[in-house]
């Protein structure tokens, strides 16, 4: 727990019951509420503001790379899904189906989109005729529905918000480059915006997206030692193109199939922020994603000059580009401190009569509780801006140290269970490439392969069968 902190009794301790702690934070920090339909949550203003910050950052990154936003229909004719067999097998158990329109039974069932590959494919088959029409770089911000049996706010819902990019290209080389580029943008978003380090790599054949030739992933590690898939990017090859007749006339005057990609990240990122950075007092928000970066709390605010100075500081900080607000409510300073901590606001500025008399204020950091007494002068905005950057770097370094200390190399099957039970995190192992060995680890320890290491070559034997390893793979229990 951060220094100089008194635990918030409204929140269950992380180490006592991590699942209950997570629910407490989601509710007490007013990120969400439950609706009357299981798995369909209400995004409260503060939670949605976090998503808007992520959305704005990624949307700019996408557009800087030439992508355009579109919007596809919510309903998909069931016959459209049937045109891609692997796709149907991958999502059929999760589909929600509309059978009536008004009072009439529909002639054809309509599926509420679990994802939009088929819709994009149908569209691309109509609008792309020539190599001159390529590439098409489209992205969609929307919600999707997957009828999950077990749900948890932000992490796994029957409905969730996300972006899904769908692009088509004239060549395999271009499409593969796009796939990796978008995976890298997700990784950079996690690092630069959310202060979260990620493992990156390629999914195994068993774990890749239905219909994809290759799936690349970014994987975060939560405080409780479980992994969270936080964004994926897929190379589809020409599989969907052949199923949907997506052809174009190339420069050599021959008809060819388009090469396709898909990539997506969702409100799971909100869950990652909570579980990577949060503590027993609530949220701890990285400054760059925090809707409010600084809260100014006037002490004895009815005394002359206190509120005036608070609003004066607010104006100066806003002029410096800092997201700031004054808490001038009639609640006690202690209550305001507790609420600011619960909501994870990165910096708290306290101004009281003594501070005003001395021409100073107290600046408190949310991430570690450190308090700094600093002059109330023209240098305050720059001091706070520098402090916000320091906090981001400190939070990233802390999360990186946690990740690195929870990657354990194993050589024997029994070591996998011991590491996951006692320490958690990622088990790093040589893998022979046989799906049976991958399944054996899952069945024995409820751990799935998270990704194949793209940078390190296998240098030992598979802990399951003893055969020579083909890949280095990270296994973990996951959300």
What is the distance, to the nearest Å, from the Cα of residue 230 to the centroid of all Cα atoms in its chain?
Answer: 5
Ranges in the chain annotated CATH 3.40.50.800: 294-388
Q: Are strands 407-409 and 426-431 parallel, antiparallel or unpaired?
A: parallel
Q: Which of 250-277 are b and which e, b meaning 16 or more Cβ less than 10 Å from the residue's Cβ?
A: eeeeeebbbbbbbbbbbbbbbbbbbbbb
Third-level CATH fold of 407-476: Translation Initiation Factor IF3 (3.30.110)
List phi, psi (to 5°) of 233: -135, 130
Phi-psi region of 30 (alpha: psi -120 to 50; beta: other; left: phi over 0): left
Distance, CA of 287 to CA of 58 (rounded, Å): 16
Q: What is the pLDDT along the chain (479 residues), one digit of tens a residue?
A: 444 456 677 899 999 999 999 999 999 999 999 999 999 999 999 999 999 999 999 999 999 999 999 999 999 999 998 887 776 677 777 899 999 999 999 999 999 999 999 999 999 999 999 999 999 999 999 999 999 989 999 999 999 999 999 999 999 999 999 999 999 999 999 999 999 999 999 999 999 998 899 999 999 999 999 999 999 999 999 999 999 999 999 999 999 999 999 999 999 999 999 999 999 999 999 999 999 999 999 999 999 999 999 999 999 999 999 999 999 999 999 999 999 999 999 999 999 999 999 999 999 999 999 999 999 999 999 999 999 999 999 999 999 999 999 999 999 999 999 999 999 999 999 999 999 999 999 999 999 999 999 999 999 999 999 999 999 999 999 99
Superfamily of domain 18-277 in the CATH hierarchy: Bira Bifunctional Protein; Domain 2 (3.30.930.10)
Ranges in the chain annotated CATH 3.30.110.30: 407-476
List phi, psi (to 5°) of 364: -115, 135
Can you give the pLDDT at residue 2? 45
Q: Residue for token digits 């296994």?
A: 475
What is the distance, to the nearest Å, from the Cα of residue 339 to the centroid of all Cα atoms in its chain?
Answer: 25
Nearest alpha carbon to residue 348 among 392, 287, 402: 287
Ranges in the chain annotated CATH 3.30.930.10: 18-277
Top-level CATH class of 294-388? alpha beta
């Amino acid at each position: 727990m951060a220094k100089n902190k008194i635990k918030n009794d409204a929140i269950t301790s992380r180490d006592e019951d991590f699942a209950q702690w997570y629910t407490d934070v989601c509710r007490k920090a007013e990120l969400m509420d439950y609706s009357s339909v299981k798995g369909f949550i209400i995004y409260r203003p503060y939670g949605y503001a976090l998503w808007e910050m992520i959305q704005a950052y990624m949307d700019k990154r996408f557009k800087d790379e030439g992508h355009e936003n579109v919007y596809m229909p919510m309903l998909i004719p069931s016959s459209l899904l049937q045109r891609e067999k692997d796709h149907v097998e991958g999502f059929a158990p999760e589909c929600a189906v509309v059978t009536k329109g008004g009072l009439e039974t529909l002639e054809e069932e309509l599926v509420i989109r679990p994802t939009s590959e088929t819709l994009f494919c149908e569209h691309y088959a109509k609008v792309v005729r020539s190599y001159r029409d390529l590439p098409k770089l489209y992205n969609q911000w929307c919600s999707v529905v997957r009828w999950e049996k077990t749900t948890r706010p932000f992490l796994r819902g029957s409905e969730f918000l996300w972006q899904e990019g769908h692009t088509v290209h004239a060549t395999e080389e271009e499409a593969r480059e796009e796939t990796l580029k978008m995976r890298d943008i997700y990784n950079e978003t996690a690092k630069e915006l959310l202060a979260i380090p990620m493992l990156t790599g390629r999914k195994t054949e068993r774990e890749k997206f239905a219909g994809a030739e290759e799936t690349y992933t970014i994987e975060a590690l939560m405080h409780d030692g479980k992994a969270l898939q936080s964004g994926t990017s897929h190379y589809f090859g020409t599989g969907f193109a052949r199923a949907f007749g997506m052809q174009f006339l190339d420069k050599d005057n021959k008809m060819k199939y388009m090469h396709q990609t898909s990539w997506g990240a969702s409100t799971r990122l909100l869950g990652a922020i909570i579980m990577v950075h949060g503590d027993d007092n609530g949220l701890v928000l990285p400054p760059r994603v925090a809707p409010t970066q600084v809260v100014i709390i006037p002490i004895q605010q009815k005394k002359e000059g206190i509120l005036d100075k608070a609003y004066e500081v607010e104006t100066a900080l806003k002029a410096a580009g800092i997201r700031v607000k004054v808490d001038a409510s009639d609640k006690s300073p202690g209550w305001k401190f507790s609420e600011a901590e619960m909501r994870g606001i990165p910096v708290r500025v306290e101004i009281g009569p003594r501070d005003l008399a001395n021409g100073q204020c107290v600046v408190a950091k949310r991430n570690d509780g450190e308090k700094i007494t600093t002059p109330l002068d023209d240098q305050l905005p720059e001091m706070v801006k520098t402090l916000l950057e320091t906090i981001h770097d400190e939070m990233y370094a802390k999360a990186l140290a946690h990740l690195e200390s929870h990657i354990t190399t194993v050589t024997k099957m029994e070591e996998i269970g011991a590491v996951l039970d006692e320490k958690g995190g990622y088990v790093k192992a040589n893998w022979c490439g046989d799906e049976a060995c991958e399944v054996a680890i899952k069945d024995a320890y409820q751990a799935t392969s998270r990704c194949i290491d793209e940078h390190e070559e296998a240098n030992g034997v598979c802990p399951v069968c003893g055969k020579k390893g083909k890949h280095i793979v990270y296994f973990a229990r996951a959300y």
